[in-house]
Amino acid sequence: MDYRVLLLNLRGNHAAGKSTVVRKVLNHFQSVPVYGMLGPRVPEAHWCFPKARFDPEGGNPGRVLPTDPKPLFILGPYTTPGTAGCDFVTKKGMGATIALFEKYRERGNVLFESILTSVRFGAPGDWLEKHKEEVIVVILDVPLEECLKSLYARQANSDFSGGEKHIREHQHQFERVQERLKEKGFRLEYVSREEAADKIIKWVS
């Protein structure tokens, strides 16, 4: 088995299903919330490990054997009502975001998603390029019109108010960034919403 650290960056436009995919991955594992930069009530990450290794009495993972796969850390809050994803981390600034990447990269595999890291290269891209051999960019292969349809279906409960024009602009940025990632030699994996969670679980197991 390959024990190299993996940095899994899930990307997609608004309403492509990024948070839904990550929640499916989170639900596959047992997890412990980790608190830090987002305060005492909102997790900065979720520490995930196989359910069979959970110690229900102690509330902590069991002893990690040398042959065990590396643990998975999902960055950003997912279990707190009204919060989802690394968007809550990027609001702290890119310096703080990269510091969080570094922190959890030292501890195991990392999964993160946000709209900012989906539609721009910039500072997160520069950092990811330094660790390119560890990175899998997971692209949700969801057409723009399907994203718009999903957004309209949930608009009453959505905190996104940019409108269709904003989403279409983000789609162009999303596509341009993909081309740049290809040019720089990143590993890109295109997956459907339906298969994305299973693919990610397989990579980190």
For every residue of 95-164, which 3-state class applies, written as one string?
Answer: HHHHHHHHHHHCCCEEEEECCHHHHCCHHHHHHHHHCHHHEEEEEECCCHHHHHHHHHHHHHHCCCCCHH
Task: Provide the number of structural domains found in the chain.
Answer: 1
Asked if 8 and 15 count as a contact pair (C-beta separation under 8 A), the reply is: no
Note whether residue 127 is domain-resident: yes
Q: Which residue has the tokens 């980190």?
A: 204
For the chain, give the mean pLDDT.
86
Q: How many angstroms separate the most distant Cα atoms in the chain? A: 52
Note whether residue 28 is domain-resident: yes
154: domain CATH number? Answer: 3.40.50.300
Note whether residue 1 is domain-resident: no
Cα angle: 67, vertex 44, 1; to 5 degrees: 20
pLDDT at 52: 61
Note whether residue 11 is domain-resident: yes
Q: Which domain holds residue 185?
A: 7-204
The mean pLDDT value for 171-175 works out to 93
pLDDT in tens, 12-45: 998 899 999 999 999 999 899 999 999 999 999 9
Note whether residue 97 is domain-resident: yes
